[in-house]
Chain A
Amino acid sequence: MTEMNDKKDDSILSIEHLSIRYSDDKLAVKDVSAKVKKKTITAIMGPSGCGKTTLLRAINRMHELYPDIHTEGKIMLGDENIYDMSTINLRRRIGMVFQRPNPFPTMSIYDNVIAGYKLNGIHLKRSERDEIVERSLKNVALWDEVKDSLHSRGNFLSGGQQQRLCVARTLAFKPKIILLDEPTSALDPISTAKIEDLLVELKQEYTIILVTHNMSQAARISDNAMFMYLGELVEYDSTKDMFTNPRDPRTEAYLTGKFG
């Protein structure tokens, strides 16, 4: 089932027998085990309601926001179980970007980038702050566009620029892993292409896990792909192998558009 788990171990994150149950006893994620390789892009695909977003959110424990959630299993980041870590430390190491761009409307562009430090009460010297802001915005190729208006609010930015600002906000913490939940579903094709280029660029330094509805996006940018169906991890393989030679009939049916 999960060919990837047997390959050479250069993984950064290891999901071990993870099951997530909602209040009404519905299993959202069923006994998923997977190892995510360092400095790659891993796409999680599957039809709506298959548990892919829940799985992604479980990786930095954002799923705990849902009421009465019940989680079994482990997720190992290095040799630490994330469910034994404090959420502050965990979320500094595993950042998240959401479906819709959500910069803080009351903060300037500058403050948005270092929002993680401000909101956690971490004090930085001015020079450190400047350095983090510049590095993060350059990383997302937004620096040239906003360097003259760093201290104004980001309302005038386009949706794509706002989403890149959100990526910069996540990068400011220098996380190990970046989780993205359908980051381009609210964007136009040109902005989408820019975000995709950005993700491929970021892969050199970061590990990226991406939920996507868009199969061609997964094919374009991901190295490995998971296919989930009804809470189950049906197939996990290199993207190339999965798209050219799916092993499970359900994966094949999904990839050929029989359902989804």
Chain B
Amino acid sequence: MDQTTTLNKKYISTLSDKDDIGNLLIRSRKLKDRLFKIAAMFFSFITIAMVFLIIGSLLAKGLKQINWAFFTQVAPDTFSAMMAKSSGQVIPGGIVNGILGSIYLVALASAMAVPFGILIGVYIYENSKKRYAAIIRDIADILQGVPSIVIGIIAYIWIVVPLTKGYSVFAGSVALAIMMLPLIVRSTEESLKMVPETLKEAAIALGTPYYKVILRVLIPSSFSGLMGGILLAISRVLGETAPLMLTTLGNPQVNWHIEKPVSAVPLLIWQFYNDPNMVDLIWSSAVFLMGFVLILNLASRWICAKKKI
């Protein structure tokens, strides 16, 4: 005890001998710490502010165009838009063709990508140690990195030219489905990994055939994860413009024919951008698109957060 105290005293005295250097070192450390903290907070504030600025300026410019007609009518021709603008009114009409078109495209794309994606995800999960599964997983990752315009070109030469002989809903939804596929594959695999192995064993110990273990136990147990992944994939492709330009082009009217072109909200934004009289509709369409994607994102987060087994 006594010895330690003397040792401590000795140590403190050596420190105080070099008092200036020690203090200086500590002070400069504290200063660096503070600077770093301030810098980190400053940059994170900029990022947050950016999001709010985007939403704010979209709302400021777009909100006045959002009315009943915006959701129920198609866009007016340039002339009536110009007349309305010069008389100080909001542009009549809306983007119903784009809204319905986007929903149509995404629904069709999901119908193609979801079953495939889930089956592939289940396969990778079940055979995770096999070489073939590892290759599929890598390919899914590569597919996720392919630029969307390239996927658009592929859908153009695979579907538009030989199959539908023109721009079509089908071609557009194939392009979107290819983009959704890797996202769903990976999210399926990840959410299946969350299911405890013991549940699978419980089902097998009851003599359950393999396909029923997957359909009745594994998939229901990871349902919220699967849904979350699907919603996230939908919100990813909802804003895609480039592949749609090459596959479904756009349509001034509402269309339900699978072999005919259809409009989509991001396509309309591009078209409004090219027409000086329609500029106001850009902002309201952007508000709508952003809101839609935001809601899907929040919904998928909410569903994923409910995941508990």
Contacts and interface: CB of A to CB of B under 8 A. Distances in A.
Which of B201, B212, B213, B221: most chain A Cβ within 10 A? Answer: B201
B205 A91 contact: yes
A89 B198 contact: no
21 contacts: A65-B201, A67-B129, A87-B207, A89-B207, A92-B207, A96-B205, A98-B202, A98-B205, A100-B198, A102-B202, A104-B199, A104-B217, A105-B309, A106-B223, A115-B206, A116-B208, A119-B207, A119-B208, A119-B213, A120-B208, A170-B205
B56 interface: no
B108 interface: no
Interface string A27-41: 000000000000000
Contacts of B213: 119
Contact of A62 (B201, B209, B217, B223): B201
A195 B223 CA distance: 32
B119 interface: no
A62 B206 CA distance: 10
Contacts of A91: 204-207
- The range of chain B's interface size is 20 to 34
Interface string B195-232: 01011011111111100110011001101000000000
A79 B309 CA distance: 41
Interface of A: 60, 62, 65, 67, 87-92, 95-96, 98-100, 102-106, 115-116, 118-121, 166, 169-170, 173
B165 to A, nearest CB: 46
A88 B209 contact: yes
Contacts of B198: 98-100, 102
A116 B207 contact: yes
Nearest to A105: B309
A119 B201 contact: no
B202 A104 contact: yes
A155 to B, nearest CB: 8
Interface of B: 129, 196, 198-199, 201-209, 212-213, 216-217, 220-221, 223, 309
Nearest to A67: B129
A165 to B, nearest CB: 11
A9 B276 CA distance: 97
B221 A105 contact: yes
Nearest to A96: B205
Given A119-B212, A119-B216, A62 B221 contact: no
A11 B203 CA distance: 28
A200 B269 CA distance: 74
Closest 4 CB pairs of A and B: A91-B207, A88-B207, A119-B208, A116-B206
A86 to B, nearest CB: 8
Most buried by A among B206, B208, B212: B206
A253 to B, nearest CB: 33
Contact of A120 (B196, B206, B223): B206
Contacts of A105: 199, 221, 309
A118 B201 CA distance: 16
A132 to B, nearest CB: 14
Contact of A65 (B204, B212, B217, B221): B204
